[in-house]
């Protein structure tokens, strides 16, 4: 009733304190996002969830909803910019979807489909990012890391372990693990950790599970990400 | 005992001494890392072992912080770590040739450490010595006015392993170069006078009690001295000097009105990060008028009810730490800091200096606060703003050095006095850092409203092609606009005033600035992290002669994206230098557009250069001739 704002003309109710993205999710409206996960404190870094509020663009995962806000999300202008962001994420790392275990379950790939990204557009950076296969149960393939920090937050806030952190700066920002050797095997990380489950792309992968579900039958093969994630899941 | 155990033990001893000095407080992480590195020349894994155990914080936290700042080294960088300032003004004065000279003299490659581990030579962002460049930092001590002779002397000192402390003292002389002084730089100011004037403005009765309550609790309204002080600041129409020009009175009032939770206090932060290339006026204020700045901070503390203060001093100004600490000690001895300042009961305030470590983004106020808390300098999500949730979640004001100096004068002479100086929308004076192509580079203080033309005449600039006002994130103007004025109503500025004469290539100026933004992006948000690299690659592509009109459209698109999607001001302004110079100096770009149609940046022959180097071949058969892609 009184606590509402409009999103692309639709009236969205919200609880005081809720962000625009949370309220939209509860109302079944999908706003693209990559670094947001309902179980963790918002980070606000990927900028995919950017919307226009009263003419100004801002990240909807960190912006609290306020009564009477007029929010635009599904405009051609905003989606074109979101598409450019996914292209940036693709060229910044090394993503070869056809050979990636995460293909079909990957939120970056699914978001790119949702936004109609047809090509990477920009020149690839081809960074050199060695994989870490030291851990008995888990492989880390940093080539696909989009620096969303979900694993960082999961390990810190849920597992109480601080296995992951971001280091470096600018384009050299990268993920590190909590061991002097820099190897996952020398941390207290286990497969049961929350951090083992949150990676939206194909970095943190369970060993010996490759292609258990065939490509074509995976989460976003069945339904596009907009329908899968909008249910506030 | 094995050698490496002895080494670990020695490192632990050094680390422990540093940690004790900072009460093992993880929020001082940046300061502790700096001191560890000052003692050990880098931050070795054994030092991190010790910090991790002693501070009880995860290793990832320490490495994450150390990895963020350009001046922290997790790999050995030599006993002499030489960084050439790489602002465009340094380049105009020949810094690149000097860098090559030093490298060939020492037999090393830029960016690498010498084989004996003695020395490394690299580049760093503007060091704030543009009026006396080319400049360098050796282990964070600044040397200005480099010449070929001086470079040879430096090479000899390094080769002979002369300790830095024994290098000739005149190498390290830094000049203020004050060319035009006005109310700030000319101020005859007795330390304590502004505070005394602020207190004198309070109504007579109950002054002690009202001051005490308000200083401690920052009560919202109606009491004595603090409110009277705030009124003067508002009446003065003082606006921030750090670039954004926010009303200082409003900022202070919001902080004062912000509720305090139990155990919290209000915080005053002086932003002395001065990272914008071409800006060096805060350095001169801190060397020539430190008491004015500290007094302004104390006036602010009085007005908002703050009890703790910080100066965030950029790492490039490390050499100012001891002199500034001496001034603070003197002020404590004179009861101008500490408890019951000037005998006012409850008037408690003190100031500590924290050093940055080579990160321009830490000048952004919320990134600065993160850094003060010992973290990576990533800008925060806002709201909430620092005035309510700043340092350790407490109400905090962040102001520029010059803003505090002006506040002290306002407290002393009154708001009306100040408002009468300058223009209607821009009260007071502005200190400009003038550098580039002119006869008398240095510091010029003017009342707001001065025209660009006037400044150019005063500093002896001739044949001027362009002026970059307020650094790369500001604007670039051409001669047709030289009658425009410095002021919030026309050209706002944080102080940089960089002059280019007709011999300069404005494309290369913009390219230098774009490299700066790419190097300084914090990497938090996608658009700025990747976009600044894409922009840099585009400009490098144009420089190689592979540009086509298509690339202009790409630059426009990137600009749009960075403006609308970036997390902070760095990303918002990263395209400005390119857009401004395209609009005004298009021929500099058109010269580069050798291609009519889209041409890929990839050049097969260039890609083979590594193979050529490895095989030691450079004959014609080791080269490809390509049908497109710039020069052979
Ligand atoms: C990337 C970036 C760098 C900045 N660097 C500085 C700086 O070096 N010094 C400064 O005073 N303000 C800097 N600012 C502006 C600060 O965020 C803030 O607005 C200012 O310190 C407020 O003080 P003022 O109101 O006195 O100007 C920077 C802002 C951005 C976005
Ligand atoms: S992580 Fe996603 S986008 Fe990257 S290669 Fe794998 S499936 Fe493709
Ligand atoms: S590993 Fe995955 S979850 Fe962690 S930061 Fe990278 S992309 Fe995000
Ligand atoms: S989902 Fe909001 S910024 Fe990533
Ligand atoms: S804010 Fe630092 S990268 Fe965007």
Average pLDDT of chain B to the nearest whole number: 92
What's residue B625's pLDDT? 63
Q: Residue B62: phi, psi to the nearest 5? A: -65, -50
Give percent above pLDDT 70 in chain B. 95
The pLDDT of residue B271: 98
Mean pLDDT lowest among B380-384, B424-428, B594-598: B594-598
Q: What CATH number labels B184-419?
A: 3.40.50.11540
pTM: 0.93
| Probe target for ligand 4 pocket from A43, A89, A153, A201, with the most ligand atoms within 8 Å of CB | A43
In three-state secondary structure terms, A59 is strand
How many angstroms separate the CA atoms of B254 and A59, rounded? 25
Which one-letter DSSP state was computed for residue B439?
S
pLDDT surpasses 60 at B258: yes
Using pLDDT thresholds of 50, 70 and 90, give the confidence band for residue B223. low
The pLDDT-based confidence of A228 (bands split at 50, 70, 90) is: confident
CA distance B124 to chain A (A): 14
Query: Looking at ligand 5, which residue's alpha carbon is closest to its atom 3?
Result: B523
Beta strands B178-180 and B442-447 are: parallel
Look at residue B214 in the predicted model and tell me its pLDDT: 53
- Contact of A158 with chain B, judged by CB distance below 8 Å, is answered with no
What's residue B344's pLDDT? Answer: 81
Annotation: CATH topology of A4-74: Ubiquitin-like (UB roll) (3.10.20)
Which tens digit of pLDDT belongs to each residue from B441-492? 999 999 999 999 999 999 999 999 999 999 999 999 999 999 999 999 999 9
Q: Which ligand is nearest to the CA of A102?
A: 2
Peptide bond into B134 cis (omega under 30): yes
Q: What is the pLDDT of residues A115-143, one digit of tens each?
A: 999 999 999 999 999 999 999 999 999 99
CATH node for A86-222: 3.30.70.20
Please determine, looking at this structure, whether the domain spanning B80-175 carries the CATH number 3.40.50.2300: no
What does the domain layout of chain A look like in residue ranges? Answer: 4-74, 86-222
- Reported ipTM: the value is 0.96
What is the per-residue pLDDT across B239-251, written as a single tens digit (0 to 9) for each? 999 988 999 999 9
- From first CA to last CA, the distance across chain A in angstroms is 24
Chain B partners of A88 at a C-beta cutoff of 8 Å? 526-527, 530-531, 534
Which residue in B63, B359, B557 is closest to A176 by CB distance? B63
pLDDT greater than 80 at residue B538: yes
Whether B522 and B359 have beta carbons less than 8 Å apart is answered as: yes
* Residues of chain B contacting residue A173, judged by C-beta atoms under 8 Å apart: 523-524, 529
Nearest atom in ligand 4 to the alpha carbon of residue A42 is 2
Mutate to test the pocket of ligand 1, among B243, B280, B492, B562 (most ligand atoms within 8 A of CB): B243
CATH class of B507-590: mainly alpha
* Banded model confidence at residue B629, pLDDT cuts 50, 70, 90: very low
Q: Is pLDDT above 60 for B632?
A: no
pLDDT of residue B204: 57
Of B59, B61, B526, the CB nearest to A47: B526
- Answer yes or no: is pLDDT of B209 > 70: no
Asked if A62 is an interface residue toward chain B (Cβ–Cβ < 8 A), one would say yes
Mean pLDDT of the region B250-275? 96
Number of H helices, E strands in chain A: 6, 9
Q: Which residue of B has its CA nearest to A177?
A: B60
For a pLDDT cut of 90, what percent of chain B falls above it? Answer: 83
Mean pLDDT to the nearest integer, B167-185: 97
Mutate to test the interface with A, among B8, B47, B49, B60 (most CBs of A within 10 A): B60
Residue contact B532–A171, C-beta within 8 A: yes
Q: How far is CA B8 from the centre of its chain?
A: 35
Per residue in B392-421, pLDDT (tens digit) is 999 999 999 999 999 999 999 999 999 999
Mean pLDDT for B487-503 is 96
Residue to mutate, A135, A204, A205, A206, ligand 3, most ligand atoms under 8 Å from C-beta: A204
* Predicted confidence (pLDDT) at residue A16 exceeds the cutoff of 50: yes
pLDDT at B218: 47
DSSP class of B378: P
Half-sphere exposure of B628 (CA within 13 A, CB side): 14
The residue among B335 and B610 whose pLDDT is bigger is B335
Q: What is the mean pLDDT of residues A104-111?
A: 96
For chain B, domain boundaries = 2-66, 80-175, 184-419, 431-457+467-501, 507-590, 604-632
Report the alpha-carbon distance of residue B480 to residue B559 in Å, rounded: 25
A190 at interface of B, judged by CB pairs closer than 8 A: no
* Binary contact (A168, B531; C-beta < 8 A): no
- The region of weakest confidence among B39-43, B143-147, B344-348 is B344-348
Q: Which ligand is nearest to the CA of B359?
A: 1
DSSP letter string, B490-506: SB--SSEEEEEETTS-H
Mean pLDDT of B137-162: 97
By C-alpha distance, the chain A residue nearest B524 is: A45
pLDDT of res. A230: 61
């Amino acid at each position: 009733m009184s606590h509402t704002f409009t999103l692309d003309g639709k009236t969205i109710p919200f609880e005081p304190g809720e962000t625009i993205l949370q309220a939209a999710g509860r109302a079944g409206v999908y706003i693209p996002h990559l670094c947001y996960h309902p179980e963790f404190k918002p980070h606000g870094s990927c900028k995919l969830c950017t919307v226009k509020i009263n003419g100004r663009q801002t990240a909807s995962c960190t912006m609290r909803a306020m009564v009477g806000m007029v929010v635009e999300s599904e405009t051609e202008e905003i989606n074109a910019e979101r598409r450019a962001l996914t292209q940036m994420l693709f060229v910044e790392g090394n993503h070869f979807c056809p050979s990636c275990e995460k293909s079909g379950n990957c939120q970056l790939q699914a978001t790119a489909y949702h936004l109609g990204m047809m090509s990477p557009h920009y020149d690839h950076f081809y960074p050199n990012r060695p994989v870490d296969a030291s851990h008995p149960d888990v492989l880390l393939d940093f080539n696909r890391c989009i620096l969303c920090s979900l694993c960082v937050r999961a390990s810190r806030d849920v597992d109480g372990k601080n296995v992951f952190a971001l280091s470096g700066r600018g384009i050299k920002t990268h993920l590190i693990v909590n061991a002097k050797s820099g190897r996952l095997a020398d941390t207290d990380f286990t497969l049961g950790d929350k951090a083992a489950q949150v990676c939206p792309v194909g970095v943190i992968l369970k060993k010996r599970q490759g292609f258990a579900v065939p490509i074509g039958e995976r989460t976003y093969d069945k339904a596009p990400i907009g329908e899968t994630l909008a249910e506030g899941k | 005992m094995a050698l490496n155990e002895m080494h670990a033990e020695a490192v632990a001893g050094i680390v422990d001494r540093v940690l004790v000095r900072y009460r093992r407080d993880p929020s001082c992480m940046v300061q502790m890392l700096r001191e560890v590195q000052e003692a050990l020349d880098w931050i070795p894994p054994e030092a991190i072992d010790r910090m991790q155990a002693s501070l009880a914080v995860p290793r990832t936290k320490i490495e994450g912080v150390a990895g963020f700042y350009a001046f922290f080294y997790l790999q050995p960088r030599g006993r002499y770590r030489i960084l050439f300032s790489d602002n465009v003004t340094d380049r105009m004065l020949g810094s690149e040739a000097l860098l090559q000279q030093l490298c060939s003299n020492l037999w090393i490659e830029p960016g690498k450490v010498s084989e004996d581990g003695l020395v490394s030579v690299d580049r760093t962002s503007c060091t704030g010595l543009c009026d006396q460049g080319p400049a360098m930092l050796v282990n964070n001590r600044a040397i200005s006015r480099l010449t070929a002779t001086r470079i040879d002397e430096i090479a000899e000192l390094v080769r002979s392993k002369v300790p830095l402390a024994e290098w000739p003292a005149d190498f390290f002389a830094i000049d203020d170069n004050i060319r035009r002084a006005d109310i700030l730089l000319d101020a005859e100011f007795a330390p304590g006078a502004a505070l005394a004037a602020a207190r004198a403005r309070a109504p007579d009765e109950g002054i002690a009690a009202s001051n005490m309550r308000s200083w401690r609790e920052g009560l919202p309204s109606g009491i004595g001295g603090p409110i009277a002080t705030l009124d003067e600041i508002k009446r003065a129409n003082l606006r921030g000097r750090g670039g954004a020009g926010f009303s200082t009175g409003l900022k202070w009032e919001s902080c004062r009105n912000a509720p305090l939770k139990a155990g919290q206090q209000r915080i005053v932060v002086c932003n002395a990060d001065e990272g914008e290339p071409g800006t060096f006026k805060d350095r001169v204020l801190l060397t020539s008028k430190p008491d004015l700045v500290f007094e302004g901070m104390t006036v602010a503390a009085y007005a908002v009810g703050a009890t703790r203060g910080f100066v965030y001093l950029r790492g490039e100004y490390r050499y100012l730490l001891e002199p500034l600490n001496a001034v603070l000690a003197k002020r404590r001895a004179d009861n101008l800091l500490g408890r019951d300042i000037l005998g006012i009961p409850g008037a408690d305030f003190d100031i500590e200096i924290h050093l940055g470590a080579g990160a321009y983004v830490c000048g952004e106020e919320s990134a600065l606060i993160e850094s003060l808390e010992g973290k990576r300098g990533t800008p925060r999500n806002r709201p909430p703003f620092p005035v309510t949730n700043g340092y350790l979640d407490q109400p905090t004001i962040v102001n520029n050095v010059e803003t505090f100096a002006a506040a002290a004068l306002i407290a002393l002479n009154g708001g009306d006095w100040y408002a009468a100086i300058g223009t209607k929308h821009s009260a007071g004076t502005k200190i400009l850092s003038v550098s580039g192509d002119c006869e008398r580079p240095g510091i010029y203080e003017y009342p707001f409203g001065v025209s660009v033309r006037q400044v150019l005449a005063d500093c002896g600039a001739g044949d001027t092609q362009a002026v970059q006002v307020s650094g790369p994130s500001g604007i670039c103007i051409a001669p047709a606009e030289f009658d425009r004025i410095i002021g919030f109503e026309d050209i706002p500025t944080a102080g940089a005033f960089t002059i280019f004469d007709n011999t300069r290539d404005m494309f290369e100026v913009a390219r230098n600035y774009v490299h700066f933004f790419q190097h300084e992006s914090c990497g938090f948000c996608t658009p700025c992290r990747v976009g600044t690299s894409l922009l840099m690659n585009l400009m490098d592509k144009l420089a190689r002669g592979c540009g086509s009109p298509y690339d202009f459209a790409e630059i426009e698109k990137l600009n749009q994206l960075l403006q609308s999607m970036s997390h902070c001001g760095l990303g918002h302004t990263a395209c400005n230098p390119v857009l401004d110079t395209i609009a005004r100096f298009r021929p500099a770009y058109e010269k580069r557009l050798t291609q009519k149609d889209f041409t890929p940046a990839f050049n097969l022959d260039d890609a083979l250069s590594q193979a050529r180097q490895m095989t030691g071949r450079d004959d014609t058969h080791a080269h490809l001739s390509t049908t497109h892609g710039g020069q052979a």
